[in-house]
Amino acid sequence: MSHYKSNLRDIEFNLFEVLNRQDVLGTGPYDEVDAETAREILAEVETLTRTRLAEAFSDHEREQPSFDPQTHSVTMPESFAKAYREWMDAEFFRLELPSEIGGTQAPPSLTWSIAELLLGANPPIHMYAAGPKFGQVVWANGTERDQKIARHMVERKWGATMVLTEPDAGSDVGAGRTKATPNDDGTWTIEGVKRFITSGDQDMTENIMHLVLARPVGVDGVGGPGTKGLSLFLVPKHHFDVETGELTGERNGAFVTGVEHKLGIQVSTTCELTFSGHGTPAKGWLLGEVHNGIKQMFQVIEYARMMVGTKAIATLSTGYLNALDYAKQRVQGADLTQSTDKTAPRVTITHHPDVRRSLMTQKSFVEGMRSLVLYTASIQDRVQVAQAAGERDEAAEKLNDLLLPIVKGYGSERSWVLLGTESLQTLGGSGFLTDYPMEQYVRDAKIDTLYEGTTAIQGQDLFFRKIVRDNGQALGAISAEIAQWIGADDANPQLKDERGLLQRGLEDAGTLVGLMVQDLQSSLPGAPEGDPRNIYKVGLNTTRLLMALGDVVVAWLLLRGAEVALDRLNQDLSEADQAFYEGKVASARWFCTTVLPKLTAERKIAERTSLDVMDLPESAF
């Protein structure tokens, strides 16, 4: 039986009942995908992912990709390769691409819904399947030559990788030393060693296009220190004819020289790649013939951060539903009201208060974070619709920027912790066994807080770039929207208490931001009674802020859903719908009453931030 328990009902609730995506589907750039088609696609993807693709999920725990250091090549396990091919043959990836490179564009709200289903069933398939999407970055930033290459990447379904990290350049990408030297024929030779390259090698596609950040040498005015001195190069595994895409039969000098052994996502190869280190030069092209590498790479990173957040919540969702299924069947102990009566009937563990606490905590976070992902995706819809009309929706762009570190950082932290402390825990000792998918979920989800920028990086990105550098515009706009929603004239009186709790949470988070801005200002040169070390106080609170803002936005989105659900509950409903909408109201109330009050404590902790921990000698740790 499949490990994967999907929640298409809740995805559709968000898409069509809360976010009204039917108003966008079938219009503008999405004229080929209307709401009915979207529902059909979702149903088809749900069946495919829940059955055949999910079946291969745990096979690779037994049979992992094998690496041959003599030939520098990886062989994938057959059952995974079969599932991967089935996904690629279904061609759903085209929904994410513009028509110019063979796509049938659908809104991000739909494509991230599809992504949730695939990422919940078998996450590494999504990662290997990103080649055509990488093609879009090549096409959008490329010269005529690069655009030809982009088309080959899509039509020939090549794999692709993002190659940033080096042994001594992880979070600090700008410390990278891999260099690029121009050749007379317009190509560049890349030399260096890169590490932690996801999908760095596999034998499921005829070619792999590596998008490599390297520092140009021997050219005036480029290649300085830091991230701004990096350029982005297209470096194929195999050489090919740029006109036709046919492989020439020659191997390029980009070799996999190691495959890591990891805690989780075993079938996703994490490779060391060596460029020009084995007697064959690694040749590539400068993307777009402009030295704008970090900016170009961030187009990939932004997408990948959204992917990681979606993966995290997709795993928590199936974790919760597996825990629920188990709890409904597992008989253990008597009802607490009869606990002293040793002859009382034994009950399923769903009768026990602590199990209910745990299940409702999981449910409210899963539903809240799903609505966070899909709300963010709906903002991306706005960005695309404007672009398609030759305009820019700057407010939507900034809001998307603000939400991305929350989707990635908050989504991955909450999911990984809840999977371990609540979902697996619901199964008791059985959760620790490989008979159930829980232990693999926990292992596979841990990476989400690490790659694509750790949680610390997400917190810094949120505060320094998305709030301070933006002059608080996006944060101000969403805060105003939440405040307006709280005070709306037509607000449902049944959610009055929860609105009050949200108001308090919003104020606590606002105070936290204010404190951090004050500390930042007092760290600047020339600040009256300032101290440059006050920036440490900011750094001590960036993760706290990430989590606090995540809680506020999630609570708001849950309450918006609850308001819709309360409205539906006034109508004649099937038994299943009645239960569904009651559950939506319950999870929103639970989140507001059990999570939001903690923000006051977080604010109070932040108010007492001192430099003591920074002053402590290292030896005292």
Instruction: Give me 217's structure tokens.
Output: 């040498």
Contact between residue 559 and residue 506 where contact means Cβ atoms under 8 Å apart = no
Closest CA to 13 of 596, 594, 585, 492: 585
Binders in 87-116 for ligand ST9, by CB under 6 A: none
Look at the alpha carbons of 167, 171, 173, 174 in this order and tell me if their dihedral is positive or negative. negative
CA–CA distance, 440 with 447 (Å, rounded to integer): 12
Binders in 37-56 for ligand ST9, by CB under 6 A: none
Q: Give min distance, CB of 202 to ligand ST9, in A.
A: 12
Q: Give min distance, CB of 231 to ligand ST9, in A.
A: 13
User: Is 9 a residue that touches ligand ST9 (CB under 6 A)?
Assistant: no
Binders in 298-317 for ligand ST9, by CB under 6 A: 298-304, 307
User: Is 553 a residue that touches ligand ST9 (CB under 6 A)?
Assistant: no
Specify burial of residue 261 (Cβ count, 10 A radius: 0-12, 13-18, 19+).
exposed
Binders in 561-600 for ligand ST9, by CB under 6 A: none
User: Is 177 a residue that touches ligand ST9 (CB under 6 A)?
Assistant: no
Our answer to whether residue 243 is catalytic in this structure is no
- Measured between its terminal Cα atoms, the distance across the chain in Å is 49
Q: In this complex, which beta carbon is closest to ligand ST9, that of residue 125 or of residue 592?
A: 125
CA–CA distance, 97 with 100 (Å, rounded to integer): 8
Contact between residue 584 and residue 13 where contact means Cβ atoms under 8 Å apart = yes
Specify burial of residue 174 (Cβ count, 10 A radius: 0-12, 13-18, 19+).
middle
Closest CA to 476 of 524, 518, 514: 514
C-alpha dist (Å) from residue 436 to 100, 427, 587: 44, 9, 26
How many helices (H) and strands (E) would you count in the chain? 23, 14
Q: Residues 9, 278, 295, 346: which binds ligand ST9 (CB under 6 A)?
A: 295
Which residue(s) pair with 334 in the sheet? 346
User: Is 407 a residue that touches ligand ST9 (CB under 6 A)?
Assistant: no
Q: Give min distance, CB of 569 to ligand ST9, in A.
A: 40
Q: In this complex, which beta carbon is closest to ligand ST9, that of residue 76 or of residue 127?
A: 127
Binders in 183-202 for ligand ST9, by CB under 6 A: 198
User: Is 134 a residue that touches ligand ST9 (CB under 6 A)?
Assistant: yes
The one catalytic residue in 46, 367, 452, 602 is 452
- Only one of the segments 44-52, 132-140, 201-209, 588-596 lies at the binding site for ligand ST9 (rule: CB under 6 A); that segment is 132-140
CA–CA distance, 462 with 465 (Å, rounded to integer): 6
H or E segment to which residue 480 belongs:
helix 473-486
Q: For residue 440, give every residue at least 6 positions away whose Cβ sits within 8 Å of its Cβ, in sequence order, or none.
A: 57, 58, 61, 264, 434
- Under DSSP, the state recorded for 345 is P
User: Is 431 a residue that touches ligand ST9 (CB under 6 A)?
Assistant: no
Q: Give min distance, CB of 244 to ligand ST9, in A.
A: 24
Q: In this complex, which beta carbon is closest to ligand ST9, that of residue 451 or of residue 590?
A: 451
Q: In this complex, which beta carbon is closest to ligand ST9, that of residue 174 or of residue 530?
A: 174
Q: Residues 35, 53, 114, 137: which binds ligand ST9 (CB under 6 A)?
A: 137
Q: In this complex, which beta carbon is closest to ligand ST9, that of residue 147 or of residue 350?
A: 147
User: Is 142 a residue that touches ligand ST9 (CB under 6 A)?
Assistant: no
Binders in 348-377 for ligand ST9, by CB under 6 A: none
User: Is 130 a residue that touches ligand ST9 (CB under 6 A)?
Assistant: yes
- Only one of the segments 108-116, 128-136, 345-353, 373-381 lies at the binding site for ligand ST9 (rule: CB under 6 A); that segment is 128-136
Binders in 213-272 for ligand ST9, by CB under 6 A: 226-227
Specify burial of residue 151 (Cβ count, 10 A radius: 0-12, 13-18, 19+).
middle
Q: Give min distance, CB of 573 to ligand ST9, in A.
A: 40
Q: Residues 234, 294, 369, 546: which binds ligand ST9 (CB under 6 A)?
A: 294
Which residue(s) pair with 215 in the sheet? 179
Q: In this complex, which beta carbon is closest to ligand ST9, that of residue 361 or of residue 455?
A: 455
CA–CA distance, 418 with 420 (Å, rounded to integer): 5
Binders in 452-471 for ligand ST9, by CB under 6 A: 452-453, 457, 461, 465
The angle formed by the CA atoms of residues 332, 335 and 338, to the nearest 5 degrees, is: 125
Residue type present at position 474 = A
Q: In this complex, which beta carbon is closest to ligand ST9, that of residue 106 or of residue 562?
A: 106
Query: For binding to ligand ST9 (CB under 6 A), which residues are involved?
Result: 127, 130, 133-134, 136-137, 162, 164-165, 171, 173-174, 198, 226-227, 294-295, 298-304, 307, 451-453, 457, 461, 465
List active site positions: 452
